[in-house]
């Protein structure tokens, strides 16, 4: 049995559809709305049951995890979930995959001495973080790079929960704004925002704000890149201004304090979509050292719905864990999944409008 929590949302629905289509096993769809979960279960090309599940209810969560081989958590918000569902999955003898979590959830699960008992957990198995740290490895296969640039973003709508999560992704366990990675270390205030810049794959001039994520830092050390530059890319200044306003007027760490600002983030994203339509682009460019081995220098992925695309990544991670391709332990998806195998799936998935490695 494969349990999909949050199965009625865009991420969970897509994950469940791919898991069923790939014949990975019977499914259990969990969500707060039982009718919606039942409706999804009826449409899947696999045996599937629906269970009303509130992940904040310990008994319901334990019952959901019971009998599962792997629990796939597409529910949030990350700042509330952390390692709660992972511990319930482990207690039931199941492996675990989470769309979010990042280092804070990984730390929470490992620091308190959780009994892994040979189990596997994969956090951040979404688009960003996730693909944003995995796909650039296609450019660095077997050759250290002189420079690697990461551009991720577009015109995607935030939900109230995802807006609070975005507002909470600051601090040393997430990344450092305006910084770059050079010569094996973080260089603060090394970069400036790019305004109205034309980037390959993006349909209109974009606003790119430097942000060196912890995922990008790990990517730099793992690939031996001399320099890494990371940018969050927006279609206008609305979202950067809404985020900056919240961070300037709050401590940036209290979800209750940030909640009123989440509405401004949601409204900014809705205005962007109204003006420019929905699109999401991931662009990675590499500059090899002179005389290095030949290889690709650009990866480009375009899609419409970043949430549904994250569901594809969750399904890919599920297949990898069930297939024994991820060893026991606690991992981040960008470090645990196979870049080439992931690229092969993405290249043929109908949610991906364009995927090129050249």
pLDDT in tens, 116-171: 788 999 999 999 999 999 999 999 987 889 999 999 999 989 988 889 888 888 77
**Domains observed in the chain:** 2-127+307-357 (3.40.50.720), 140-295 (3.30.360)
State how far the Cα of 308 lies from the Cα of 314, in Å rounded to an integer. Answer: 10
State how far the Cα of 177 lies from the Cα of 70, in Å rounded to an integer. Answer: 36
pLDDT at 344: 97
- Categorize the per-residue pLDDT at 252 as very low, low, confident or very high, splitting at 50, 70 and 90: low
pLDDT tens profile 1-18: 999 999 999 999 999 999
- Categorize the per-residue pLDDT at 112 as very low, low, confident or very high, splitting at 50, 70 and 90: low
pLDDT at 332: 96
pLDDT higher than 90, residue 257:
no
pLDDT tens profile 25-77: 999 999 989 999 999 999 999 999 999 999 889 999 999 999 999 999 999 78
Q: How many residues does this entry show for the chain?
A: 358
pLDDT at 276: 96
pLDDT at 108: 84
What average pLDDT is seen over the chain? 93
State the average pLDDT over residues 184-211: 97
pLDDT at 117: 82
State the average pLDDT over residues 106-121: 80
224: Cα separation from own chain's centroid: 23
State how far the Cα of 99 lies from the Cα of 122, in Å rounded to an integer. Answer: 9
Q: How would DSSP label each residue in 198-258? A: --TT-SS-EEEEEEEEHHHHHHHHHHT-SEEEEEEEESSSHHHHHHHHHHHHS-S--HHHH
State the average pLDDT over residues 223-243: 95
pLDDT tens profile 148-159: 999 999 998 998
Q: What is the pTM of this model?
A: 0.95
State the average pLDDT over residues 162-190: 90
pLDDT at 113: 59
pLDDT at 253: 66
């Amino acid at each position: 049995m494969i349990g999909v929590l949050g199965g009625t949302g865009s991420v969970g629905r897509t994950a469940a559809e791919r898991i069923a289509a790939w014949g990975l096993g019977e499914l259990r769809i969990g969500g707060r709305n039982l009718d919606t979960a039942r409706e999804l279960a009826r449409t899947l090309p696999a045996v599937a049951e629906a269970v009303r599940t509130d992940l904040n209810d310990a008994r319901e969560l334990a019952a959901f995890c019971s009998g599962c081989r792997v629990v796939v958590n597409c529910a949030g918000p990350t700042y509330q979930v952390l390692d709660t569902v992972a511990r319930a999955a482990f207690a039931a003898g199941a492996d675990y995959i989470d769309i979010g979590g990042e280092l804070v959830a990984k730390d929470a699960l490992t620091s308190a001495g959780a009994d892994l008992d040979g189990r596997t957990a994969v956090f951040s198995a979404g688009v960003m973080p996730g693909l944003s740290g995995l796909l650039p490895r296609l450019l660095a296969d077997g050759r250290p790079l002189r420079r690697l640039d990461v551009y991720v973003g577009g015109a995607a709508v935030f939900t109230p929960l995802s807006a609070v999560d975005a507002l909470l992704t600051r601090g040393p366990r997430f990344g450092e704004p305006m910084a770059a990675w050079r010569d094996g270390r973080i260089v603060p205030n090394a970069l400036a925002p790019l305004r109205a810049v034309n980037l390959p794959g993006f349909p209109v001039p974009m606003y790119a704000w430097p942000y060196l994520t912890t995922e990008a830092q790990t990517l730099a050390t793992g690939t031996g890149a001399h320099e890494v530059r990371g940018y969050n890319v927006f279609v206008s200044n609305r979202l950067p201004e809404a985020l900056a306003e919240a961070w300037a007027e709050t401590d940036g760490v209290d979800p209750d304090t940030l909640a009123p600002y989440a509405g401004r983030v949601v409204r900014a994203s809705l205005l962007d979509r109204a003006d420019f339509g929905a699109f999401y682009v991931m662009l990675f460019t590499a500059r090899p050292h002179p005389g290095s081995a030949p290889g690709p220098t650009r990866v480009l992925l375009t899609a419409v719905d970043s949430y549904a695309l994250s569901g594809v990544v969750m399904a890919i991670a599920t297949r990898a864990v069930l297939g024994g391709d991820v060893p026991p332990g606690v991992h981040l998806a960008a470090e645990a999944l196979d870049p080439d195998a992931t690229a092969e799936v993405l290249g043929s998935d109908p949610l991906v409008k364009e995927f090129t490695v050249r």
